[in-house]
Structure 1
Amino acid sequence: MLAELLRALGVTDAVMPDGLAERAALYRSRLADRRILVLLGD
């Protein structure tokens, strides 16, 4: 799920981190200067 969100933010598979903690850190850094609403559903 986090990988899909990162791809939507422009992160390519070539630079996609393998670990969950690294992906979460990248997600936070990509959103640090933005205001964004994320809706999740089944």
Structure 2
Amino acid sequence: KDFDYKGYTHHASDDDPQYEIKSDKTDHIAAHKGSALKKKS
């Protein structure tokens, strides 16, 4: 489902979800596709 986030339209679906991520260093919050993320080890 498409959603607006910080003035931008993000295109998400069940097959290609997006996640809201908060930075540990800056507390900045952003939306990213799952394919752009990697697990922290």
Instruction: Give the TM-score, by structure 2 length.
Output: 0.22
Structure with more of its chain in strand, by fraction: 2
Structure with more of its chain in helix, by fraction: 1
Instruction: Give the TM-score, by structure 1 length.
Output: 0.22
Structure ID, larger Rg: 2
